């Protein structure tokens, strides 16, 4: 996806996707790894994604709305594990 998305503009699209293919199966809540200097460890995050894919999970949830979510800046949240690979 490209462009500027807001939650309001994304929700109708997400609803259409949900109707087309319901989300079912194991959706794993991922951990957020940090380096010793308290930076987000994208390399470890990518390894976690690779591991979960090899395990055959149906989806991954990252970041969570609890704990480390508040410590991540918006650019770090948007970069996410998909960009870490």
pLDDT in tens, 10-59: 677 777 777 777 778 888 988 888 899 988 888 998 999 999 999 999 98
Domain assignment present for 48: yes
Pick 55 or 8 by higher pLDDT.
55
Domain assignment present for 57: yes
pTM of the model: 0.60
Domain assignment present for 64: yes
Query: Could you tell me which of 72, 73, 74 has the C-alpha nearest to residue 5?
Result: 74
What per-residue string of b and e applies to 9-38 under the rule 16 or more CB within 10 Å gives b? eeeeeeeeeeeeeeeeeeebebebbeeeee
Task: Give the H/E segment covering residue 45.
Answer: helix 42-55
Task: Give the H/E segment covering residue 54.
Answer: helix 42-55
Domain assignment present for 2: no
> Which structural domain, as residue segments, surrounds residue 39?
25-83
76, with CB counted inside 10 A (0-12, 13-18, 19+), is: middle
């Amino acid at each position: 996806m490209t462009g500027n998305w807001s939650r309001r503009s994304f929700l109708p699209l997400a609803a259409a996707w949900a109707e087309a293919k319901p989300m079912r199966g194991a959706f794993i809540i991922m951990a957020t790894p940090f380096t010793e200097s308290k930076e987000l460890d994208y390399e470890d995050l990518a390894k976690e994604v690779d591991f979960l894919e090899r395990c055959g999970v149906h989806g991954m949830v990252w970041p969570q709305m609890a704990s480390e979510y508040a410590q991540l800046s918006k650019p770090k949240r948007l970069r996410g594990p998909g960009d870490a690979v």
